[in-house]
Amino acid sequence: EECIQGFRVSSIELKHLCLEYMTPWLPNLVRFCKPSEENKRQKQVAGIIEKLILLTIEEVEMYPSIQAKIWGSIGQVPELIDMVLDNFIHRSVNSGLGSPMVEIMADTAVALASANVPLVAKKIIGRLCRVVDKTCQSPTPLLEQHMMWDDIAILARYLLMLSFNNSLDVVRHLPYLFHTVTFLVCSGSLSMRASTHGLVINIIHSLCTCTKPSFSEETQRLLRLSLDEFSLPKFYLLFGISKVKSAAVTAFRSSYRHPNERWFGNERSFSGASSQDRERLSLTSLEVITDALLEIMEACMRDIPDCDWLTSWTSLAKSFAFCFNPALQPRALIVFGCISKSI
């Protein structure tokens, strides 16, 4: 804590030295957050993490170094990951969907994952799936109207940021990612919809470039064709982004709050979007998307012995298909139907 205090008033040169001094001590934080320890000590650790988050936000010039040194080091300590992610998500939700804080925290989650991709990816995907599950307890007509929508959209943003350079560990989590995509496609603001499209593109790209497992030339060809297909205007329309020139630009355009921010229903619309920008998802469109994702999954499965991707995805879709949830049940029924056709 003294080091963090000193950091704020130091010159750039000394700040780098402070980071070098601080980094080796970070793994010791785990000693203070064991279940057997007093709650007070755990709160101390949470307080230190909070101060490190503030440091990340405030020290603009030191941002890259803090990401690499602080969060890269903390990512190497599995026992701290949950507490850190709790802080990230709490900060993001409090700051609001579309705020700069969400982008900073999502970026920091990537730094956290750099040392432990499988664990961080598993934690964030698992959290998103659990939050989506909770929407069944108090269902709403639209997912955007649910009280958990901000959490869902923020975690989806984390997924997008992690999806670059395959920090999502796609091969392990493909059924959960496709399950999430089918529930989020065409939901939220224009930027959110473009983010969902970007997530799919990055997932396919990760499959194209992964070395374990090694996919056959035929599978590689199909994956490359799928990349091209998902970039066509037809799929822009299916993802609810038919009016944008570039999905990538739209997904990352500035979403700072400003006077032009408007509301419709319970969904925030950033960058002056209006209700005219909303493109509702028809179930036929979802069927086309699901069939395309299913084709990718089945092609990859042929090259992986004893692969249970389809079983997992079927189970996920089935659990929602027979559970009352107006926002998600129709989607789950379509997905379950598409999968059933192929089995």
Beta strands in the chain (DSSP E): 262-264, 267-269
Q: How far is CA 87 from CA 46, 51, 54, 324, 334, in A?
A: 8, 11, 11, 32, 36
Distance from the Cα of residue 152 to its chain's centroid: 9
Strand partners, 262: 269
**Structure letter (DSSP) for residue 268:** E
How far apart are alpha carbons 161 and 75 in whole angstroms?
16
What pLDDT, in 10s, does the model give residues 240-293?
888 776 776 666 664 433 323 332 233 343 333 344 456 677 888 999 999 999
Task: Identify the pLDDT of residue 279.
Answer: 64
What pLDDT, in 10s, does the model give residues 83-116?
899 999 999 989 888 888 999 999 999 999 988 8
Query: Does the pLDDT at position 202 exceed 60?
Result: yes
Instruction: Please report where in the chains the tokens 């049940």 appear, as a residue.
Output: 329
Three-state secondary-structure class, residue 303: coil
Query: Does the pLDDT at position 156 exceed 90?
Result: yes
What pLDDT, in 10s, does the model give residues 281-300?
788 899 999 999 999 999 99
What pLDDT, in 10s, does the model give residues 311-327?
999 999 999 999 999 99
- Which tokens go with 334? 């379509």
212 band by pLDDT with thresholds 50, 70 and 90 = confident
The rounded mean pLDDT for the chain is 86
Domain extents for the chain? 172-343
Q: What's the one-letter identity of residue 250? A: T
Strand partners, 267: 264
Task: Identify the pLDDT of residue 255.
Answer: 45
How far apart are alpha carbons 171 and 215 in whole angstroms?
12
Instruction: Please report where in the chains the tokens 């990401």 appear, as a residue.
Output: 67
Contacts of 186 (CB under 8 A, 6+ apart): 193, 196, 238, 239, 240, 279, 280, 281, 285
Contacts of 85 (CB under 8 A, 6+ apart): 109, 112, 120, 123, 124, 127
Return phi, psi of residue 160, to 5°: -60, -45
Strand partners, 288: none
- pTM for this predicted structure: 0.87
